[in-house]
């Protein structure tokens, strides 16, 4: 039985508002839900409003097995929302509400011990769009133990980022996760040039001294590079309903695989299979089928 690790989602909690209704989401919250669904101990650090959506967000986290005791209830700002549009290929675009509860994530003394006890923490750029939340996020990541995975899931959204935020986040990270659209932005921010996706990803990993760098390429598959290995994996062929949450599921599978010290090829196949499944479902955090809950169970698939 694998050891149970304490893994943290750090940043925004919000509701994805689709044409047909609202669905619980937010990249680090999705990540935490997938971590719990894969059998590890997940907690969320964020803030929600004292409103119906805030209470619903906490209930949604708890229903998915995520510790929500570090999700602060803000009396003065609403729970975050984002309007989601899905194009004909099932790919999502986002329009975020301004000045929401997660923009006012304040440091609390209990976060110090949580940070020091975690095996991994995942954070991005979106929740750093406000100064207060940015300071809290960076303080938490800096407080994480030296052996912790500090996962920077870039998650560039709606212009809520700049090169300085990217560079400073990379300096805190040990693992980078990004997609094809984000790759040239991150490469430019840290002064890396490459003639291919793989070459650029390797250049970023080497320049920043990262343990691993992960690139998702949609229908073209994905790449994971470490200081010793390169793994390239084709995308799992599925009928796409929407892509919301697929990248977060991929990240969760990679983090758990790294913590469990599984072979990179096994980690990668599991991540691709899990992301492919999420693409077949409406919403970001569907229940994970038993056959996808352990990386070893995907060895015979493909």
pLDDT tens across 136-193, in order?
Answer: 999 999 999 889 999 999 988 878 899 999 999 999 999 999 999 999 999 999 999 8
Lowest-confidence range among 86-100, 209-223, 248-262? 86-100
Mean pLDDT, the chain, integer: 92
Instruction: Give pLDDT tens digits for 194-209.
Output: 889 999 999 999 999 9
Measured distance CA(180)–CA(146) in Å, rounded: 30
Measured distance CA(59)–CA(26) in Å, rounded: 15
Q: Is 60 exceeded by the pLDDT of residue 298?
A: no
Measured distance CA(178)–CA(127) in Å, rounded: 16
Domain ranges, ordered by start, for the chain: 6-298
Which one of 3.40.50.1820, 3.30.1330.40, 3.40.1190.20, 3.40.50.1100 gives the CATH number of domain 6-298? 3.40.1190.20
pLDDT at 151: 98
pLDDT at 3: 60
Mean pLDDT (whole number) for 225-253: 91
Burial of 46-81, coded b for 16+ CB within 10 Å and e otherwise, reads: bbbbebebbeebbebbeebebbbebbbebeebbbbb
For the record, the structure tokens of 82 come out as 């984002």
Percent of the chain with pLDDT over 90: 74
Instruction: Give pLDDT tens digits for 266-288.
Output: 999 999 999 999 989 877 888 89
């Amino acid at each position: 039985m694998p050891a149970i690790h304490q893994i943290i989602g750090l940043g925004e909690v919000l509701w994805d508002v689709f044409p047909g209704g609202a669905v619980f989401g937010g990249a680090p919250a999705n990540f935490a839900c997938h971590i719990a669904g894969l059998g590890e101990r997940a907690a969320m650090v964020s803030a929600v409003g004292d409103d119906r959506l805030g209470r619903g967000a906490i209930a949604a986290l708890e229903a998915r097995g995520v510790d929500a005791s570090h999700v602060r209830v803000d009396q003065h700002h609403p729970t975050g929302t984002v309007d989601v549009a899905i194009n004909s290929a099932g790919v999502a675009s986002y329009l975020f509400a301004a000045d929401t509860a997660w923009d006012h994530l304040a440091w609390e003394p209990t976060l110090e011990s949580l940070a020091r006890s975690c095996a991994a923490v995942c954070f991005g750029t979106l929740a750093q769009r406000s100064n207060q939340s940015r300071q809290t996020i960076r303080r938490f990541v800096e407080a994480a133990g030296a052996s912790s995975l500090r996962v920077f899931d870039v998650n560039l959204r709606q212009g809520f980022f700049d090169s300085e935020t990217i560079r400073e986040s990379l300096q805190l990270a040990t693992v980078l996760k990004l997609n094809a659209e984000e790759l040239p932005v991150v490469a430019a921010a840290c002064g890396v040039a490459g003639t291919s996706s793989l070459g650029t990803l390797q250049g970023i990993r080497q320049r920043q001294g990262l343990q691993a760098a992960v690139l998702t390429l949609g229908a073209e598959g994905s790449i994971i590079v470490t200081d010793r290995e390169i793994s390239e994996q084709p995308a799992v062929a599925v009928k796409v309903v929407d892509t919301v949450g697929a990248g977060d599921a991929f990240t969760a599978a990679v983090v758990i695989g790294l913590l469990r010290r599984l072979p990179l090829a096994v980690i990668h196949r599991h991540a691709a299979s899990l992301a492919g499944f999420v693409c077949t479902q409406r919403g970001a955090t569907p229940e994970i089928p038993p056959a996808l809950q352990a990386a070893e169970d995907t060895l015979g698939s493909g």
